[in-house]
């Protein structure tokens, strides 16, 4: 049982961007495949296993499974359009994550440095924290973080 015999990439339908090719139980050929999780990701059950829709989309378009992670370029976990997906390392995927909910600054990679009385920007690259500098505003620190993250994604 091959996944490509049951599912196809369907950019015209939105949602998971996957469509059933043949009838599968209650699912009928031509209908959208998958359900959305609480975190916004689409998943599809195939052969008794849950698969992340973005990984299946990558496989169906490129004919091979991603080497490590699939990153949603626009940070929207529901947008599985192929032009919004990129094969990347875990480190690269972490750089593109949204800021944590409890972030004091409201920006990813930006913290308040009490001793310096300034905002500090740092990014993790290959498991190591890289200090990007001290800044007067959280926005300036965030701009430094975003520039470094963009530089990393272009490599």
pLDDT, tens digit (0-9, with 9 covering 90-100), for 74-122: 888 999 999 999 998 887 777 666 666 666 777 888 989 999 999 999 9
The domains found in the chain, sorted by start residue, are 3-88 (3.90.75), 96-153 (3.30.730)
In the DSSP assignment, the letter for residue 54 is H
* Mean predicted lDDT score pLDDT of the chain: 87
> HSE (CB half, 13 Å, CA atoms) of 130?
13
Looking at residue 154, its pLDDT comes to 57
For residue 72, what are the β-bridge partners? 85
Calculate mean pLDDT across residues 2-31: 90
Q: Which of 70-74, 89-93, 127-131 shows the lowest per-residue confidence on average (mean pLDDT)?
A: 89-93
CB 42 within 8 A of CB 50: no
Give the C-alpha separation, 88 to 153, whole Å. Answer: 9
Furthest-apart CA atoms within the chain: distance in Å = 63
Give the C-alpha separation, 123 to 5, whole Å. Answer: 42
Predicted model pTM = 0.69
What tokens does 45 get?
């059950």
**Sheet-wide strand order for 128-135:** 110-113, 118-125, 128-135
């Amino acid at each position: 049982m091959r996944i490509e015999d049951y599912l196809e990439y369907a950019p015209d339908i939105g949602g998971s961007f996957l469509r059933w090719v043949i009838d599968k139980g209650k699912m009928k050929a031509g209908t959208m495949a998958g359900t959305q999780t609480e975190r916004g990701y689409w998943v599809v059950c195939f052969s008794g296993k849950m698969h992340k829709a973005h990984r299946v989309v990558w496989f169906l378009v490129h004919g091979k499974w991603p080497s490590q992670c699939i990153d949603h370029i626009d940070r929207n976990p529901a947008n599985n359009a192929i032009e919004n997906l990129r094969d990347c390392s875990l480190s690269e995927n972490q750089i593109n994550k949204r800021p944590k909910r409890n972030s004091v600054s409201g920006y990813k990679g930006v913290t308040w440095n009490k001793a310096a009385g300034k905002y500090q920007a740092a990014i993790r690259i290959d498991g190591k924290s890289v200090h990007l500098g001290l800044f007067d505003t959280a926005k300036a620190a965030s701009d430094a973080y975003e520039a470094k993250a963009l530089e990393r994604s272009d490599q």
